[in-house]
Amino acid sequence: MPATMMSIAIALFPAVASSTGPAPSAQEGKQHFIRCAACHSTNAADRSATGPHLNGIVGRAAASLPHFAYASELRGQDFKWSPARLDAFLESPRTTHPGMCPTFNGLAKAEHRAALIAYLQQPAD
């Protein structure tokens, strides 16, 4: 990762970066996306997946894709998927958003969550 991107990553995830050492890597995060790929695409044009596409999910308003028929408690909620929100969800999906992503039980390690969020910000990497 180039030095400038490294400092961006550290700026975005200060708590995680300082508690775990190395900054999260989108490359590594791609491996964790395997847990999501059965139901989610990172391609905005892909509408065949079970779940809503996750292109631009970091900073996106919850349940905001007009073409996707949201079914869970997410509907009608007014928040954006900030890195902190995503981190809380990824750590404990059953308590933060019960029923939203069936079969996903959470990523226990903070550095794995940070890497996945870094990947979601830059899925092309």
62 binds ligand HEC (CB under 6 A): yes
Q: Given the structure tokens 């970066």, which residue do they identify?
A: 17
- Tell the smallest beta-carbon distance from residue 24 to ligand HEC (Å): 14
82 binds ligand HEC (CB under 6 A): no
- Tell the smallest beta-carbon distance from residue 12 to ligand HEC (Å): 16
Name which position in 18, 31, 43, 72 contacts ligand HEC (CB under 6 A).
72
Nearest to 49 by CA among 62, 60, 40, 37: 40
6 binds ligand HEC (CB under 6 A): no
Q: Using CA atoms, how far apart are residues 57 and 52, in angstroms rounded to an integer?
A: 10
The string of DSSP letters for 52-118 reads PP-TT-TTPBTT--TTS---STTTT---B--HHHHHHHHH-HHHHSTTTSTT------HHHHHHHHH
Q: How many residues bind ligand HEC (CB under 6 A)?
A: 25
Name which position in 24, 29, 52, 83 contacts ligand HEC (CB under 6 A).
52
Question: What residues make contact with ligand HEC under the rule CB under 6 A?
Answer: 35-36, 38-40, 50-52, 54, 57, 62-65, 70-72, 74, 81, 90, 100-104
